Amino acid sequence: MVLCGNVSATAAQEVSEDTIGGKVHHIDEVTVRARRSFSNMTATAPTLVMDRSLMEQMGMHEVAEAVKHFSGVSVKDYGGIGGLKTISVRSLGAQHTGVCYDGIAISDCQSGQIDISRFSLDNVSLLYFTIGQSDNIYLSAKTFASAGTLSIETMRPDLDQRSYQLNVNLKAGSYGLANPSLMYQQRIHPKVSLSAYADYLRADGNYPFELRNGTERIEGKRNNSDIETWRAELNAYIDINDRQNINLKAYLFDSERGLPGGVVYDNPYAAERLYDRNYFAQAAYENRFSEHWKLKAGGKFNYTWNRDRNDQASGITDDRYRQTETYLTATLWGEPVEHLSFSLAQDFAYNDLSATLRNCQFPERFTYLTAAAVRYAHPLFTASASLLNTHIHERVETGDASEGFRRLSPAFSLSWKPFRENLRVRLSYKDIFRVPTFNDMYYLLIGNVNLRPESTRQWNVGVTYNRSFSNTLEHVTLTADGYYGTVKDKIVAVPTMFVWRMSNVGEVKTLGLDLNATAALKWTETWKTSLRFAYSFMQAEDVTERDSQTWHNQIAYTPRHSGSSSCSLSTPWLELTYNVLYAGERYSSGYNSNDNRLPAYTDHSLSLSKKIKWKHSQLRIQAEALNLGGKNYEVIRFYPMPGRNYKVTINYQF
């Protein structure tokens, strides 16, 4: 199966002789299943992990909420439940960040960025974010093609005790939030299991706000912030035998939401509506020929439809877009000698876009990706290297098409344990690029088919340390990663004589530091404390033109200092968690003037949860108070976030 975090199956059949009776006993075959474990301690590149138990402990309900606690990762949040949310790694931009859903990449050739607000955590078991070059080489070629990758793994059936399981979840909260969901898992055959998930979300989202715009203080209420969303998934897990398995998935997402727009002076009016439909089906197959050879292959067909309707004073616009993607992937992994493994991956993708816009060129893209990788793994030393070959061909129905793109992208990473202590040193490098999107090249008059890819180079050097000190201080983990990166041929819109036009004119240099620390304390068998801390320093400066006003200015919406912390107390009766998010000063423009400065903010939240177990059932009740300070801070300028608000979650498992 094609999974970023592979599920492995092993089978053991043992024949032993009884030393007393001299009889031979046959032990039944046992199949053991476990998800691949991910650890930032031993990884050769920064790997940030959050499993389901931690998400529940911290009171996370959306992918965007969880990702905000990863160091070096920033979320652009346009406010409220219905606001768009995109992720960027180390200031490189959302187009450089890949998103992987159960092992197969999600793509958007139109804009190049994924709105992660459409994903719920109710059926997610694991989130992990890899920055730079992963030391896991058993991946699809497309996974090698991003500067960083967020991988989302959904829950798999756990039916060892019974043949079915039911999980009912209900969330309710401020501003009309109602979010019921249902998951049902069923084993219909010893080798076949099914799971079905359905989720409905609605909210008014019209929260009050107070905002300063220049010298004016604006008080009002957000409007056109409502959202209604349906999600559904159907999964089939088929074990052909102890070495082969197939996973099938069908996915549906349908939403209508208002886009509240920016609050400009005293005019909060907004009438833009966004309709999204996304349906896809994917299949993944894996064959573990032996302990030293395995193959996985997969395919996906994706259909996306969007409607953007805006009732403006200047007139009504009603634009519609349709994308399809056909994607195929195969990866062969081998370990011909001990400690040394290699992989060869081949991907193909076909993308097309149509729109109701006048002069739409109906572009098509054919993408061929080939990745070769090698890894040496020893208890004291791990090293990996990869080379990605990208070949892209495009065509259009009208006008001129891009000449296509061809490029080789190298990467390597290594980790070394110099002492017996659990201290490791790591180093990684990745040279990668992002292809111009369909909007960059073909959108109305601003598109430019002569654009070059936006290239990035990332260096990372770090240390990791973990140790268990005593029965009370169960473990402490520390990581520190310094990095240097460049972006060349940055694609930006620049004014020409009559219109704006996309051009390769930008260059950015980034210097930063990520610190992470966790600790677990066990006071008694039933009283425990967990501590988490993350801090990022990021100096991302525009170095495009020495004589410009933006020379060595911090790029837009990138704070130099940011971080998060969390403290959880587990008792026999309740679990209490306190979370803090911090973002320092930043600017809404590449010109760092006082007029463009956004003040620093902190976001405090408190979560209380209680579990009640009896027989095979469990009831979990959680109450949360979010943004305790009640301040309408801005992640994006003129888009105030909700003030103090509340959520209650009731979860029942049977």
Higher per-residue pLDDT: 267 or 582: 582
pTM over 0.85: yes
According to the 3-state scheme, what is the secondary structure of 171-236?
Answer: EEECCCEEEEEEEEEEEEECCEEEEEEEEEEEECCCCEEEEEECCEEEEEECCCCCEEEEEEEEEE
DSSP 36: P
pLDDT tens profile 308-367? 999 876 788 999 999 999 999 999 999 999 999 999 999 999 999 999 998 899 999 999
Contacts of 394 (CB under 8 A, 6+ apart): 363, 364, 365, 366, 401, 402, 404
Band of pLDDT at residue 468, cut at 50, 70 and 90: confident
Q: Is the pLDDT of residue 262 over 90?
A: no
Tokens of 385: 């290297």
How far apart, in Å, are the Cα atoms of 430 and each of 118, 329, 405, 610? 29, 22, 19, 45
102 touches 153 (CB < 8 A): yes
Q: What is the CA radius of gyration of the chain?
A: 25
C-beta atoms surrounding 244 within 10 Å = 16
**Average pLDDT, integer, range 507-511:** 95
Parallel, antiparallel, or unpaired for β 340-355 and 561-570?
A: unpaired
Percentage with pLDDT > 90 across the chain: 68
CA distance 91 to 560: 10
Q: C-alpha dihedral over 437, 130, 340, 139, to 10 degrees?
A: -50
Give me the residue label for tokens 């966004």.
274
How far apart, in Å, are the Cα atoms of 579 and each of 33, 93, 458, 631, 645? 33, 26, 31, 16, 15
**Average pLDDT, integer, range 297-307:** 96
Q: Is the pLDDT of residue 555 over 50?
A: yes
Picking from 415, 501, 407, 413, the residue whose alpha carbon sits closest to that of residue 456 is 407
Report residue 342 CA to chain centroid gap: 26
Band of pLDDT at residue 1, cut at 50, 70 and 90: very low
Picking from 402, 373, 406, the residue whose alpha carbon sits closest to that of residue 392 is 406
Q: Domains of the chain: which residue ranges? A: 28-167+248-653
What is the pLDDT at residue 83? 67
Poorest-pLDDT segment among 80-84, 156-160, 506-510: 80-84
Band of pLDDT at residue 79, cut at 50, 70 and 90: low
What is the pLDDT at residue 29? 46
DSSP lists the bridge partners of residue 501 as 494
Band of pLDDT at residue 394, cut at 50, 70 and 90: very high
What is the pLDDT at residue 214? 65
CATH of domain 28-167+248-653: 2.40.170.20
Q: Is the pLDDT of residue 17 over 50?
A: no
- Where b means 16+ CB within 10 Å and e means fewer, 561-597 reads ebbbbbebebeeeebebbbbbbbbebbbebebeeeee
CA distance 216 to 236: 57
Higher per-residue pLDDT: 568 or 13: 568
610 phi/psi in degrees, rounded to 5: -140, 130
545 touches 538 (CB < 8 A): no
Tokens of 76: 């652009």
What is the pLDDT at residue 470? 86
320 phi/psi in degrees, rounded to 5: -130, 140
Higher per-residue pLDDT: 373 or 267: 373
Mean pLDDT score across all residues of the chain = 89
pLDDT tens profile 124-170? 999 999 998 888 999 999 999 999 999 999 999 888 778 899 999 99
What is the pLDDT at residue 82? 65
CA distance 403 to 394: 7
pLDDT tens profile 202-244? 999 889 988 876 667 788 888 888 999 999 999 999 999 999 9
CA distance 159 to 421: 39
Q: C-alpha dihedral over 417, 421, 424, 425, to 10 degrees?
A: -80
308 touches 289 (CB < 8 A): no
449 phi/psi in degrees, rounded to 5: -75, -10
Higher per-residue pLDDT: 19 or 339: 339
Higher per-residue pLDDT: 31 or 49: 49
574 phi/psi in degrees, rounded to 5: -140, 160
Strands (E), 443-527: 454-467, 473-495, 500-522
